[in-house]
Amino acid sequence: MSNEINTYFSQVANEYPASGIRKMFEIAAQYDPKEIVNLTVGEPNFDTPQNVKDAAKKAIDDGFTHYNPNAGMPALREAVAESYAHYNCGYQADNVIITVGALEALTLGLLTIVNPGDEVLVPDPCFPNYLGQIMITKAKPVTVPVYEENDYKIQAEDIEKAITPKTRAIILNSPSNPLGSILEEEDVRAIARVVEKYNLYVFSDEVYDKIIYDGHKHFSMAQIPELTDQVMVMNSFSKAYAMTGWRIGYLLADSALTKRMAQIQEGMVSCVSTFTQVAAIEALKGPQTEVQQMIADYTRRREILIDGLNAIPGFSVKKSPGSFYAFANIKAFGKTSQAFAEDLVREAKVITVPGSAFGSMGEGYMRFVFANSDENLKEALQRIDAYVKKNY
């Protein structure tokens, strides 16, 4: 193959945003993994519940190894719709499409409703893969600043300021990665008034909806009847059921949208693996005791990490009402978040993610993951405390 061919890449390949999380992995790879305490990985540190694993094994033995409908197995689509019944959204099986994780759900949704040049609003800071997914569709991401003084909750007035005639949709994420914040019902309703005024679509990323603390309640914009048809709810089995490697998620939306998404899915992945879908049915309908235990453990670990960081001079951390992330203010140290993160790896052997990896508004912050063992969290805190005492 000629050098010309070897060096030709598409605009998407050339401009796809590099992952700041991946950069920290590359830096940490220079050290012995046994020496590193890793607080970067946004996944449960638990195994998938045994009943779900057993269901997958049995499904393979029972022959669930063939193609299934592009939109997913009817039984799973029905189970997903039923799982949202307590939100009173009126979802039926035809409102559901089963996807390869929530990321593919977003990709399918974007491909269904945006055209090149359309604008999609995203919070800043946000899960960085949103930006790449928008770019793949040739739409334009437009960031909306999120401020610590608002408890890391995106504000309706800031959303309205960012809207132009090209704005097609907005992505909301509650509970939030990386912020750990939750949009309460009054927050969602305020944003909904802006959405209705400008006739926007909403991608509601709800993958952490079961990981909520202190009596807070999850409220989805899809619960507002006037807007249900404009909201696309994205969710997955990854976080609540410790199934990140299974790569299975779903999207709930107006049936006219899910029908078009299924057509696109046929040409992308055909369908999600069949035995995985059988296991997902068991996740939804089977015992929830292991999920409840995970959340109890996260609650305890949240206290360990956030209280521990706040006890170290220079850190200021709000208690996260949802997800398993703590977004720590480190501005008192006078360093960029990237420099501070690299120092922690080199000197404390603790790997975290700089807030700048999630957007410009993340500068001066660090994301810590408390989906880790009590022992690792305590060890990381001891190392960070020693680093701060030595250098500041």
Per-residue pLDDT of the chain (392 residues; tens, 9 = 90+): 455 666 788 988 998 988 888 889 888 888 888 999 999 999 999 999 999 999 999 999 999 999 999 999 999 999 999 999 999 999 999 999 999 999 999 999 999 999 999 999 999 999 999 999 999 999 999 999 999 999 999 999 999 999 999 999 999 999 999 999 999 999 999 999 999 999 999 999 999 999 999 999 999 999 999 999 999 999 999 999 999 999 999 999 999 999 999 999 999 999 999 999 999 999 999 999 999 999 999 999 999 999 999 999 999 999 999 999 999 999 999 999 999 999 999 999 999 999 999 999 999 999 999 999 999 999 999 999 999 999 99
User: Which of 265, 285, 305 is a domain's end point?
Assistant: 285
Q: What is the CATH number of the domain that holds 60?
A: 3.40.640.10
Q: Whole-prediction pTM value?
A: 0.95
One domain for residues 66 and 147: yes
37 and 149 co-located in one domain = no
Cβ–Cβ under 8 Å, residues 122 and 153: no
Contact 125, 358 (CB under 8 A): yes
Domain termination residue (choose one: 285, 308, 324): 285
Last residue of a domain, one of 232, 254, 285: 285
Task: Say if residue 356 is in the same domain as residue 216.
Answer: no
Do 85 and 178 share a structural domain? yes
Taking Cα atoms as reference points, which of 233, 229, 224 lies closest to residue 191?
224
Asked whether residue 235 falls in the same domain as residue 351, the answer is no
Q: Are residues 273 and 195 in the same domain?
A: yes
Residue by residue, DSSP assigns 269-330 as: TSS--HHHHHHHHHHHHS--HHHHHHHHHHHHHHHHHHHHHHTSTT-EEPPPSBTTEEEEE-
List, in sequence order, every beta strand (DSSP E) within the chain: 37-38, 96-99, 119-124, 140-145, 167-173, 201-205, 231-236, 249-252, 316-317, 325-329, 350-351, 353-354, 365-369
Is 125 found in the same domain as 89?
A: yes
Q: Read off the pLDDT of residues 12-31 as tens digits, 9 standing for 90 and up.
A: 899 898 888 888 988 888 88
Residues 33 and 130 in one domain: no
C-beta separation of 237 from 282 below 8 A = no
Domain count, the chain: 2
Joined together, the tokens standing for residue 153 give 């909750």
Cα 313 to Cα 221, 306, 318, 331: the distances in Å are 39, 13, 15, 11
* Residue-range definition of the domain harbouring residue 360: 3-47+289-391
